[in-house]
Amino acid sequence: MLEGEENLVEEAKQGNPEAFGQLYDHYLPKIYRFVLIKVAYREQAEDITQQTFFKAWRSMKRYQSKGYPFGSWLYRIARNSVIDHYRKTKEEVDIENVSEEILGVDNTLSQNLDSKFEWETILKSIKSLNDIEQDVLIMRFVEDMQHSEVARVVDKSENAVKVIQHRAIKKLEERLK
């Protein structure tokens, strides 16, 4: 959670673009990564991420925290935007595009190749899960969100999220053997 987030959210709700800009700067890489894993194409991920923040800005006055971080609300908007994207396009995801984007170029060539192979294998397995299982795993293990935050985003109880996570991990273990 961003230091001073509650104050920034309140200022943004009052229409302060600088406050929203600070929230944007903090959450942009996280939301982008979440969307990129879901859609795999950089350009689409950028568009959907921008749509997410545009929708958030338009709806700021109606935002209510209800005890959850602002980021949970953004992830919910992003998740719904991804769902809308797939309803409109019905396209398949190319795992190679997402693995290269996520890996970056920090590693040596051999590490990068090993890592790329592992990422492709893992991402293919994740893509074989249903949408809710994918979302739960990405939010829990890539975005490091708490069960309660994930529950709010996917509109399930905390216990349901734990069960979904457990079952998804079991499926991944089977597929990665």
In a domain, 114, yes or no: no
- 166 lies in a domain? no
Please enumerate in sequence order all residues whose Cβ is within 8 A of that of 169, keeping only pairs 6 or more positions apart, or say none. Answer: 137
pLDDT of 41 higher than 60: yes
Per-residue pLDDT reduced to its tens digit, 104-160 = 434 444 444 455 557 677 778 888 899 999 999 989 988 889 999 999 999 999 999
> How high is the mean pLDDT of the chain?
84
Q: Is residue 76 part of a domain?
A: yes
Does the residue 36 lie in any domain? yes
- Domain CATH for 5: 1.10.1740.10
Residue 99 lies in a domain: no
Structural domain count, the chain: 1
- Please say if the pLDDT value at position 21 is more than 90: yes
Who wins on pLDDT, 101 or 80? 80
pLDDT of residue 76: 93
DSSP per residue over 14-60, as a string?
A: TT-HHHHHHHHHHHHHHHHHHHHHHH--HHHHHHHHHHHHHHHHHHG
Note down the domain range covering 24.
1-91
- 86 three-state secondary structure: helix
Higher pLDDT, 145 or 98: 145
pLDDT value for 143: 86
pLDDT at 31: 95
The answer as to whether 157 is a domain residue is no
pLDDT at 10 over 90: yes
- Is the pLDDT score of 98 beyond 60? no
Kindly report, residue by residue over 60-83, the tens digit of the pLDDT. Answer: 999 988 878 899 999 999 999 999
Of 86, 67, 75, 65, nearest to 30 by C-alpha is 75
pLDDT for residue 1: 64
pLDDT at 106: 43
- The pair of three-digit structure tokens given for residue 150, joined into one six-digit string: 């994930």
Q: How far apart are CA 121 and CA 85, in angstroms?
A: 25
Q: Is residue 156 part of a domain?
A: no
pTM for the full model? 0.71
Distances (CA, A) of 156 to 148, 153, 172: 9, 8, 21
pLDDT for the residue numbered 78: 96
Is the alpha carbon torsion for 126, 99, 39, 52 positive or negative? Answer: positive
Q: Is residue 153 part of a domain?
A: no
